[in-house]
Structure 1
């Protein structure tokens, strides 16, 4: 087989990068990506910005009046837009260290969510929820000549910050009567933030002559100790209510914890003909460890959903699987292109809208010279239909009341689109 250029090697993996995180499961947005570590240049700097446009809508919502002290106003819609557009940035720098190692440092936003349905028949479940993250990472590989190629041992660490809030209707406007909205809106707000550390380890093998690379990388879980407040100043203190009689009308300091999931990803690519490349990846993410995130008043321990929690984030995820594959072609020394297809298994179980998705991605790369690479990528995908109903027990195996049963609703097949631009300077 004729030699396939290292420039072709670069575009194959990038085609996966635009498709996979377009609307991945759980709270994943940018995810993790260390492809820059394998750039054959001595030094490389790359910046990427991806804009994602999910069009998820929900309908047929029915609230649970037991959760908010009465039915929500009949004028509130049974339909809502359940997703907001978002940006996913990434910037990284890579350098050769001596003759046997490469290292990279990068910034990304791996986790996130923004749901803003507003006032609707599911307001007792959610009016607006937003989660943001920041990830600062350093990763290195040590290389050894083995056979016709190069074997690498990969290791690194990352520091993450996470923050967010959730608004929901704690008390129905109907139950508030004439006190709504001049005195009380009945809306409670959770604000939280935290940080944590993680690490990664992996192996890779490359044969540059045929643009072959196989890599297997494990990213550890990240444990966050969360702190924040639950603002109930817009919710009256109701003497007969077991919780609001104590906390109504107050801003309550709270604490909690969550472990963002570990993951394993296998990536393989190889030249299949002169200037043609095939690539694919399989990733498992342990989202099933993220079920209910309880927030308890400071000083109340232990913090248990359904027992001592003042508020919870109910997710009830299952493990995520992402499978991607595609073909790339180098047209000439300046232009290359690739297409990919990605399937992501939905992580939602009893509640939520994260069902299976199928995403078709494409990418064009323009390299006017050996030091500059410009990329434009796009993706269009299908979000499959489903429903969200009553929740599951707050603690598996217990007889506690269910969590996440504030509302039920349905959703049909929807579209998601994404566009990404990237600039790489190398020398």
Structure 2
């Protein structure tokens, strides 16, 4: 019976770990959209078209052909200040109910689980000739962290969550003529996760429950491609593609320190799993209305539905190594993002911009977890550019995100539910403020 409980809990903890979620992520699922201070100001409308910034290469590498010959460098920083509070009820069942003597029900709030974060990105392009261009982008496409109060009501489903990534993306672009440019590139991505949960075999009413830890990392590869088309003067259409990135996570699961009351000793088990992060297609348009005013639009699709089933396996051959780990169902839906915006040249040095967007999350109440209380959201943004010289420019952008009403309902039928732990239901109160800034210089 004890062996079965250990296997069940390892499965539940690893399932949460390998979902690689961060409750404060802001591009649906656990991705980060904040890759450009320039387009932050338009809610990322027009982010796949060319313009004053080369940060659009994250979504469409063909846009760097607008930078011209010579070297261009940009450094972007986004400061994300999210707030997310889970107020709900945990009702123990199975092992937890037994170990707490039937008195383990809890309404302890999570506190603010979302952590503030700084998201950096850099972009470099070099125009070798009028036709050939080379680019390099360094980004953090996935990440952020959550950390509720230590002994909150949902502690058996999550405590802390940390996700870190770095993506290096060299690209080559070719300007076919004044109407068409094309590009392709390589993604080299490092991903690391670290997640903790309370250990149900050490449930207690009188002391803090110890934590399990799951940690893993991987180096994965993918590709990017894009095209820009200018069918007439003042009109541009851009289509960008970021491929799926294949990761083979290698890591470990650690049980807490010895718990004599239930006869459980600490252990370390190697785990591995193959995970494919989703591809993304961005379609953008820009239309000049007057010499000073332009309207922008973007539709983006992310193939989150490929995160359906992940097979877990153990890498240890010791007697403490659990066997027969089942497959994990994520059942994400595809993510969609729709944005419209505009920019106005106030004078030769200052450009003003604004935008609104609506994002359809790949996660709904049927699968929403305590680690990722994600939902549909409204984006409201504004920004500006100051260009003191021909070679130097500064961008600022601000966004306020308003999520839809959000609930968590972990019970029978939910993919995170564990009958040895119990049920958890909650209302989620959240909002997000983002401030971005960048420096652009052309040598």
Structure 1 residue runs of 4 or more that deviate by more than 6 Å after TM superposition: 237-240, 391-394
1:3 corresponds to = none
**Structure 1 counterpart of 2:27:** 24
Partner of 1:8: none
CA gap of 1:89–1:392, structure 2 versus 1, over 3 A, is farther
Aligned partners of 2:409, 2:309: CA distance in 1, in Å?
16
In the alignment, does 2:127 pair up with 1:104? no
Give me the TM-score of the superposition, normalised by structure 2.
Answer: 0.78
Provide the rounded CA distance (Å) in 1 between the counterparts of 2:239 and 2:412. Answer: 35
Determine whether 1:364 maps to 2:384.
yes
Q: Which consecutive residues of structure 2, in runs of 5 or more, have no partner in the other structure?
A: 1-23, 36-57
Q: Take 1:306 and 1:218, find their aligned partners in 2: how far apart are those partners?
A: 39
Q: 1:67 to 1:285 in 2, by over 3 A?
A: farther
After superposition, the C-alpha distances for 1:372-412 in whole angstroms (9 at most, x for unaligned) are 01011111120111212236879xxxxxxx43456423334
Match of 1:283 in 2: 300
> Separation in 1 of the partners of 2:311 and 2:427?
27
Which residue of structure 1 aligns with residue 255 of structure 2?
Answer: 232
Q: How many residues align?
A: 379
Residue of structure 1 aligned with 2:427, choices 400, 404, 411:
411
Q: 1:60 to 1:390 in 2, by over 3 A?
A: closer
Q: Would the alpha carbon gap of residues 317 and 82 (structure 1) be closer, same or farther in structure 2, given more than 3 Å must change?
A: farther
Distance 2:437 2:122 in 1: 12
Change over 3 Å in CA distance of 1:226–1:409 after alignment to 2: same
**Equivalent residues of 2:92, 2:104 under 8 A apart:** no
Counterpart of 1:214 (choices 217, 221, 237) is: 237
- SS of 1:80's partner is coil
Deviation at 1:114, TM superposition (A): 1.1
Q: Does structure 1 retain, via aligned residues, the 8 Å contact 2:60–2:238?
A: no
Partner of 1:88: 119
- So what's the TM-score if we normalise by structure 1? 0.80
- What does residue range 10-409 of structure 1 map to in structure 2 within 5 Å? 23-30=26-33, 32-34=58-60, 37-42=64-69, 43-66=71-94, 68=96, 70=99, 73=104, 77-118=108-149, 119-145=151-177, 149-171=178-200, 173-175=202-204, 180=207, 185-206=209-230, 209-210=233-234, 212-234=235-257, 236=259, 248-291=265-308, 293=310, 295-299=312-316, 307-308=324-325, 316-349=331-364, 350=366, 351-352=368-369, 353-390=373-410, 402-405=415-418, 407-409=423-425
- In 2 relative to 1, CA 411–379 (structure 1 residues): closer, same or farther, beyond 3 Å? same
Is 2:360–2:376's contact at 8 Å kept on the other side of the alignment?
A: yes
Q: Deviations over 1:266-318 (max 9, x none)?
A: 01111111210100111111112224655432158xxxx99415xx9875422
TM superposition shift of 1:414: 2.9
Give 1:172 deviation, angstroms: 5.6
Two-structure CA RMSD over aligned residues (Å): 2.9
Quick check: 1:164–1:193 contact (8 Å CA) kept in 2? yes
**Cα separation, 2, equivalents of 1:102 and 1:391:** 54
For residues 166 and 393 of structure 2, what CA distance do their matches in structure 1 show? 26
